[in-house]
Amino acid sequence: MSSSATTTTGPENNSALYLVPISIFSAIALVLVILRLWTRLARTRHLYADDWLILVAEVVSFTGFCIAAAAVGSGWGRRYATIAPEELITILKLQFALQTTWLVSLCLVRISVACSLLRFGTDKPWRFTLYSIMAVQALISSSYVVIQFAQCTPVSANWQSVPDVKCWSTQPLVDYGWVIAGVYVTIDLVLSLMPIRLIRTLSRSTSEKILIGVLMALGLLATAVACAKMTTFNDYGKGDPMQATIKPSMYAKLEELVGIVASCLPCLKSPVEHFLKRFGILKEHEISRPSFVNSQPLPTPKEVDGRSSSAGSFPMKSGVRVDSVSVTPGSAGSYSRAIPGQSSQEWNAV
């Protein structure tokens, strides 16, 4: 700690590295969640389980952003040597709360994505994969919560010096973070690629399939952010404790926010289509009916008695809309922090 405290290299305050991108993406995520819920209620008059999960995730995420802003206001990002002891305790308390909210929100985002995909498949392999992903995510997040509160005894040792403190070795935690990061990347790739099966079965134009594919593949951006965050793992516990935690914390929060953004964009497919049509990128005739509507048998000419000659025919539907699903967030590791002294494949029509 003493070597870190005497470090004089680097900027006087690097908190902008966190605040600028996180402020922008927090605002975008908040707007998109509101638009997602408004669009869903306008079409279905009710919310699905994945909508409720993403709503709670956004509330927790925005709370975390406010906590981070308070930490920056207290001195997080400044050099350790320039921070008063009282400010240091406040910053570390806020960092502890920030990490806790992040663990919860990221877990809810990923479970929300898997939950949304459940509606678009009934075969056992499809549902087993998604339920397994949700179970693994819940177990991993629970393990990190345990680590968060049990790593040091007493818990207050996370933000202040206490006598007879007992803390776990950091190296096993770093190794665990590497393993879990690999598991998360695998999960995220599975969640990102699963919608391809749905898109291939749709009777739609190529341009519309590309639009759906792009919207549903944006979750890969969160995976890319998570991979970038993994490059900071080897720097855990090194450097100025108030400045070295800015970069990994920024990547972790950005990973969560990109996940929220990516999970909401597919639900805004209709507004995106209207926007693209307005600027001539997508033509009106390219907007096709849902694949399951195209697959319905057309009514045959009525017989003299006014009844259809085919017992299996169905009346034509009008005003059928397609409600898209969410996609994947990115993977996760954990924040770094300093311790002073330590088979249906059809779209859902509404």
CA distance 151 to 158: 9
Q: What is the pLDDT of residue 295?
A: 41
pLDDT at 280 over 70: no
pLDDT range class, residue 64, cuts 50, 70, 90:
very high
Q: What is the pLDDT of residue 347?
A: 38
Q: What is the mean pLDDT of residues 174-194?
A: 87
- Give the 3-state secondary structure of residue 327: coil
Q: What is the mean pLDDT of residues 77-88?
A: 91
Instruction: Kindly list the domain boundaries of the chain, sorted by start residue.
Output: 11-267
CA distances from 284 to 31, 140, 201, 276, 323 (A): 27, 46, 21, 10, 18
- How many residues belong to the chain? 350
Lowest model confidence (mean pLDDT) among 32-46, 66-80, 191-205, 282-296 = 282-296
Q: Fold for 11-267, please state it.
A: Rhopdopsin 7-helix transmembrane proteins (1.20.1070)
Q: What is the pLDDT of residue 114?
A: 92
Q: What share of the chain is helix, strand, coil (3-state, %, to 5)?
A: 65, 5, 30
pLDDT at 50 over 90: yes
Q: What is the pLDDT of residue 211?
A: 66
Mean pLDDT of the chain: 77
In terms of pLDDT, which residue wins out, 285 or 132? 132
- Give the 3-state secondary structure of residue 58: helix
β-partners of residue 322 are 349
Q: What is the pLDDT of residue 343?
A: 39
Tokens, residue 346? 């059809």
Q: Which residues contact 163 (CB under 8 A, 6 or more apart)?
A: none
pLDDT digits over 124-168, tens only?
A: 999 999 999 999 999 999 999 999 999 999 999 999 888 888 989
CB 23 within 8 A of CB 255: no
pLDDT at 176 over 80: yes
Share above pLDDT 70 across residues of the chain, in percent, rounded to a whole number: 69
pLDDT at 91 over 60: yes
Instruction: Tell me the pTM.
Output: 0.74
Lowest model confidence (mean pLDDT) among 66-70, 133-137, 223-227 = 223-227
CA distance 190 to 125: 13
